[in-house]
Homo-oligomer: A and B are copies of this chain.
């Protein structure tokens, strides 16, 4: 399918500041950026930080003096995803995981899987099929955590959310990841533009490694899983923040949109009766 994505972020710098942004659509074998435009107004030179396939397309910019500025990104992106039937899926033992995957088993700032070991095993440990296991924990999050803007902040982590039971997409994703890792299922944070997200914003969900595929899960169920334009993946929100600010800048407004340009869209959500998983890779 073909999507048009837009992001418009405005900042005020009170003094010298460096920003690292993660808002460009990723380039992957299944996601092609047909056109894109990145404008900083007033003009500031932007440095693109990585280039390799599947690598997050962060960019960095430095503002030396006090001023307000706006970053605008527009992309036309064509992408597809892989659908896999996980009916007879079995877990990949740690002994067979690729070295590059291992970090996604470790606890991170917002995903303290080490503290959720008993919780995860008590609740989900007996489910054999790893797809069903992650689906079950995603369902648990969906049923127990209330989607509530303003309740959490940038310091909120999975350890808080599992008890306080309220948060936004970021918190839902962190909890999903922490539970997966506690169950020895590699999991990572996923950010993207999401078609039909209302109100429009950047979206966060997570990927779990199932049968050597990074399968997408979204405990918020706010958007269909098949309308996502991938931006970045990482250990958690620390590594894939939309914006990391160093110095004296402050974010003001964020406006985001994601529109379908071509293709027929039939909303797709997971269903425990039919173990089809979606993977954007």
Contact = CB atoms under 8 A, between A and B. Distances in A.
A222 to B, nearest CB: 19
Given A95-B62, A102-B20, A114-B154, A108 B238 contact: yes
A163 B159 contact: yes
Contact of A155 (B49, B102, B115): B115
A26 interface: no
Contacts of A50: 99
Total identical chains: 4
A150 B89 CA distance: 38
Nearest to A50: B99
A252 to B, nearest CB: 17
A247 to B, nearest CB: 8
Contacts of A119: 163-165
A119 B160 CA distance: 11
B116 A163 contact: yes
Nearest to A103: B239
A177 to B, nearest CB: 12
Interface string A105-142: 11111011011101100100000000000000000000
16 contacts: A18-B93, A18-B94, A18-B95, A47-B95, A58-B99, A60-B94, A62-B93, A62-B95, A94-B246, A105-B246, A106-B239, A108-B108, A109-B109, A109-B112, A112-B155, A114-B238
Interface of A: 18, 20, 47, 49-50, 58, 60, 62, 93-95, 99, 102-103, 105-109, 111-112, 114-116, 118-119, 122, 144, 146, 154-155, 159, 162-166, 184, 235, 238-239, 244, 246-247
Given A18-B94, A114-B238, 16 more contacts: A20-B94, A50-B99, A62-B93, A62-B95, A94-B246, A105-B246, A107-B109, A107-B238, A108-B109, A108-B238, A115-B155, A115-B164, A119-B163, A119-B165, A122-B144, A184-B246
